[in-house]
Amino acid sequence: MDADRAALAEENAALKAELAVARAKASEDAALIVQQTLRIAKLERQVYGQKSERSARLIDQLALTFEELEANATEDELAAEQAVAKTTTVVGFTRKRAERNTFPDHLPRERVVIDPPTACECCGGRRLRKLGEDVTRTLESVPRQWKVIETVREKFSCRDCEKISQAPAPFHAVARGWAGPSLLAMIMFEKFGQHQPLNRQAERYALEGVPIALSTMADAVGSVCTALDPLLRLVEAHVMAAERLHADDTTVPVLASGKTDEIKLPASGTVNCSCPDFRTDRCLVYITAWTAPVIVYDMDAEKETFAKSIFNSDVVYPGFDQLVSEEVEVPGHDGTMIPLSIVHKKSIPMDGSNSCILEGYGAYGISQTPRFTIRWSLAKRGVVFAFAHPRGGSEKGEEWYKAGYKTTKPNTWKDFISCAEYLVKKGYTSPEHLAGTGTSAGGILISRAITERPDLFRAAICNVGCANAMRMEFTMSTSDGGTSCVMVPEAASTPVM
C-alpha cells in the first residue's frame, strides 16, 4: 500500500514537472517571437525611417510586451527547475540566452580577492601551489556611479595528492547572477514602485554608459520575483490573518472573454480611457484626483497591469503637496447622507476664520467627480474649497438623480444648505467667510439657497445660471425655432408646443 502511494506521488510529481517544463518552453517561445517582432520593427524603422508617430508608439508597446514575456519566461523556467528537482524521470529545461555584454571595459574594477585555502580539502596537506584563478564579475551600481566587482578565487593544487582547492564562488541574489543586490533593488523599485518600464530604464542606463540588454533585465526581474515569492506568501498570510483589512483599491469594469470583469486601478480619482488601436488589448488610462494632476497609464487589459505611459509628463506644482482632500457625508434636512468633498491646506485652523467657496450643481444626473485645477493655488493661501454632491446628480445612482428632479427638486438646494451648515459647524469656515456658487443649472441651487438662508452666505456667484425654471418653458432653444428647452424635463412641467 505504501509502495503504491509512493509510486502515485512520484507519478504526480513527474506530471507536474512535465507541465512546468512545457509551460517554460511555451513562455520562451512567446518571448522569442515578440523579441524577433521587435527587432524587425526597429530595423524597418532604421532602414525606411519613421512613418508616423504611431509607429514609434507601437515599438514602445512591443518593448513593454517583450519585457513582460521575458520576465514570465524566467519565472516559468525557475518553477520548472524546482519541479524537476522533485523527480528523477523528467529532463530539466534551461533557456538559451544570448551572450551578455554587460561589463563595459571603461567601468572601474574593484578587485576582491578571497583568502585562499591554507590546507588541502582532501588530505589536509599544506603543500599547495597556485594553478590559476576564476574571476566572477558582478555589475553593481552606486548612486551616480557604476562599477564592476571582480571577485577573484585563486586555485591551489596539493603537492601531496594533486587535489585542487579553491574558495567557494561569491553569493548572488539570483541564480546565474550578473547584477549586485543594489542594482537589482534599483531595477525592481523603478519598475514596480515608480512604474518605469524596463525599456525606458535600459535607455537611461545606456546614456550613462552602461548598456544593458532589455532581455537581460527582464530575466533578472523574473528571477527576483521567484526569489521573493516565499516572502510574499508570508506577508500575505500575515495580512489575511487580521480581523479587518483596510484598502484603497479602485476598480474599473472591463470586457473579458464575453463577460465583464473588474481590475484594480493604480490610483483613485476620476478615470478616463482611450484605445488608440482597437485591435489590441491595450489602452491609455487617465486618472486625476482633487490634489493630483492627470497621470497617464498604459493598461494591458489581458494581464490587468498598469505602467506609466511614455505620454505621461510628471508635473510638480510647488506647494501643492501641502494640500489634502477629504470625503465626508453630511446629514441632510430629511436625514439623507449627502456626500461632500473638501480641499484645503494641511493644519488649517478649525476656528471658522478660513475663507471658503462651496460649489454645487445637482442636475441632469451629472456627477461632480475629482478634478485638479490651478485654482488650488488659493488653497495654498488658506482658502477652503468644498464641493457638494446634492440630489439631482448621479453620485449614488439613478435614484439619487430622481430625488432632485421636478417635484423633488427642493432637495437639491436643501442638500447644499446642509453642506454649508456642516462646514460652519466643524469650524472650516463661518457665515462671514462663506461664499456659494453654482453654474448653469446650478443657478437654481445657489439662487434658492441664498433666498432660503441669506444668513448663511456672505457672497454668492450665479455663473450663467438658470434661476427661473418657469421662464425656461418659453425659451427658444432648438435649431428649428421650437420651444423644447433642456430645462423643461429637469425642473419644469411640460414644453409649450
Does the structure show a pLDDT above 50 at 483?
no
| 296 sits in which H/E element | strand 292-300
CA–CA dist 372, 353 (Å, integer): 25
Q: pLDDT band at residue 237, thresholds of 50, 70 and 90?
A: confident
CB 69 within 8 A of CB 27: yes
Cell of 216: 537581460
Radius of gyration (C-alpha) of the chain in whole angstroms: 33
According to the model, what pLDDT value does residue 496 have?
40
Cα angle 84, 88, 93; round to 5: 35
Q: CA 292 from chain center: how many Å?
A: 14
Cell of 491: 425642473
Does the structure show a pLDDT above 70 at 49?
no
Does the structure show a pLDDT above 60 at 486?
no
DSSP annotation of 31 reads H
| Whether residue 357 sits in one domain with residue 442 | yes
By the 10 Å C-beta count (0-12 exposed, 13-18 middle, 19+ buried), 116 is classed as middle
Whether residue 198 lies inside any domain: the answer is no
| Whether residue 375 sits in one domain with residue 285 | no
| 328 sits in which H/E element | strand 323-331
CA–CA dist 212, 278 (Å, integer): 33
Indicate the residue among 281, 308, 335 that finishes a domain.
Answer: 308
CA–CA dist 368, 389 (Å, integer): 7
| Whether residue 461 sits in one domain with residue 364 | yes
CA–CA dist 344, 350 (Å, integer): 11
Cell of 260: 465583464
CA–CA dist 304, 311 (Å, integer): 19
Q: What does the pLDDT look like over 352-392, one tens digit per residue?
A: 999 999 999 999 888 889 988 888 889 988 999 999 999 99
| Whether residue 400 sits in one domain with residue 331 | yes
Q: What does the pLDDT look like over 88-104, one tens digit per residue?
A: 777 777 777 766 667 78
| Whether residue 445 sits in one domain with residue 330 | yes
| Whether residue 131 sits in one domain with residue 59 | no
| Whether residue 117 sits in one domain with residue 28 | no
Average pLDDT value for residue range 394-405: 90
Q: Note the residue count of the chain.
A: 497
According to the model, what pLDDT value does residue 494 have?
44
| Whether residue 387 sits in one domain with residue 302 | no
| Whether residue 129 sits in one domain with residue 236 | no
Q: What does the pLDDT look like over 309-319, one tens digit per residue?
A: 888 888 888 88
| Whether residue 264 sits in one domain with residue 384 | no
According to the model, what pLDDT value does residue 14 have?
82
CA–CA dist 61, 449 (Å, integer): 52
According to the model, what pLDDT value does residue 495 have?
43
Report how many helices (DSSP H) and strands (DSSP E) the chain contains, helices first.
10, 16
Question: Total domain count for the chain?
Answer: 4
| Whether residue 366 sits in one domain with residue 391 | yes
Whether residue 182 lies inside any domain: the answer is no
| 387 sits in which H/E element | strand 384-388
Domain extent, residue 55, equals: 1-99+216-241
Report which residue type is found at 147: K
Cα torsion 379, 384, 388, 394 to 10°: value is: 20
Whether residue 275 lies inside any domain: the answer is yes
| Residue closest to 136 by CA, chosen among 105, 74, 179 | 179
CB 418 within 8 A of CB 330: yes
CB 331 within 8 A of CB 314: no
Whether residue 272 lies inside any domain: the answer is yes
Q: What does the pLDDT look like over 245-284, one tens digit per residue?
A: 766 556 666 555 555 667 788 888 888 888 877 777 788 8
Cα angle 477, 480, 486; round to 5: 30
Report which residue type is found at 408: T
Whether residue 154 lies inside any domain: the answer is yes
| Whether residue 446 sits in one domain with residue 350 | yes
According to the model, what pLDDT value does residue 482 have?
46
Indicate the residue among 189, 206, 241 that finishes a domain.
Answer: 241
Does the structure show a pLDDT above 90 at 335?
yes
Whether residue 177 lies inside any domain: the answer is no
Whether residue 226 lies inside any domain: the answer is yes
182-203 b/e with 16+ CB inside 10 Å = b? Answer: ebbebbeebbeeebbbbbbbbe
Q: At what angle do helices 214-240 and 53-84 cross, to 10 degrees?
A: 60
According to the model, what pLDDT value does residue 266 have?
85
Q: What does the pLDDT look like over 127-137, one tens digit per residue?
A: 888 888 898 88
DSSP states along 182-248: HHHHHHHIIIIIS---HHHHHHHHHHTT----HHHHHHHHHHHHHHHHHHHHHHHHHHHTSS-----
Whether residue 42 lies inside any domain: the answer is yes
